[in-house]
Amino acid sequence: MIQSKINGLALDVSTQSPVVILAPLDASGPNGEKVLPIWIGPFEAQAIAMELSGIPSKRPLTHDLIKAVIGSMGGKVEKIEVTELVNQTFYAKIYVSVNSHTVEIDARPSDSLALALKSKAPIFVNGELFQERKDQMGPIGGPESGESPDSLRERLRRINPEDFGRYSL
């Protein structure tokens, strides 16, 4: 596992889907030229964007609620991990400690990332999931659009990270 950060949010201009871009925390190390784009839903993108921008919500959002529930039970989000890619779907785990016991919870990466930001918990990514930037994104999990994995893979190989539109609220 490689400790990582959210390097930004983007908008895939061809599908109008939000994309969260993860990168290793230590950009000067051997993994510094790698990124992991993950297509996410608009509500999760909004929660991540608000947290990254420091914009508070007027009422608790889902991720605020999850954090509050964990805290009220005496727990703490220790870390999240983006663990694997299976059939074009990314998987993640949230690690919560309660009374000296750690619970591992299966979750979507988008929810996990939003919760990590709100809880100030570290983010880890399975190193095998990162793609070299020079590979121009490589095979990654995109939105459910009916597009074949080979077609999606080929389209994404031609996209530079800089070609993604900026995601805004």
CA 60/CA 42 separation, integer angstroms: 17
The two structure tokens encoding residue 142: 């995109």
User: Any idea what the CATH number is for the domain that residue 13 is in?
Assistant: 3.10.690.10
Question: Of 73, 169, 143, 79, which Cα lies nearest the Cα of 115?
Answer: 79
What's the chain's average pLDDT?
80
CA 157/CA 108 separation, integer angstroms: 24
Q: In 15-106, which residue ranges form alpha helices assigned H by DSSP?
A: 42-53, 62-72
pLDDT, greater one: 32 or 16: 16
Q: In the chain, what is the greatest distance between 2 CA atoms, to the nearest angstrom?
A: 49
Q: Does residue 13 contact residue 164 with C-beta atoms inside 8 Å?
A: yes
Q: What is the pLDDT of residues 111-156, one digit of tens each?
A: 999 999 999 999 999 988 987 544 434 334 444 444 444 554 454 4
Per the structure, the count of domains in the chain is: 1
pTM for this one?
Answer: 0.75
- Specify the range with the lowest mean pLDDT, choosing from 22-26, 78-82, 115-119: 22-26
Which residue carries 């990332």 as its tokens?
113
Instruction: Note down the domain range covering 25.
Output: 2-166
Q: Interior CA angle at 45 toward 164 and 126, to 5°?
A: 80
Mean pLDDT of 64-82: 94
- Specify the range with the lowest mean pLDDT, choosing from 22-31, 43-52, 69-78, 94-103: 22-31
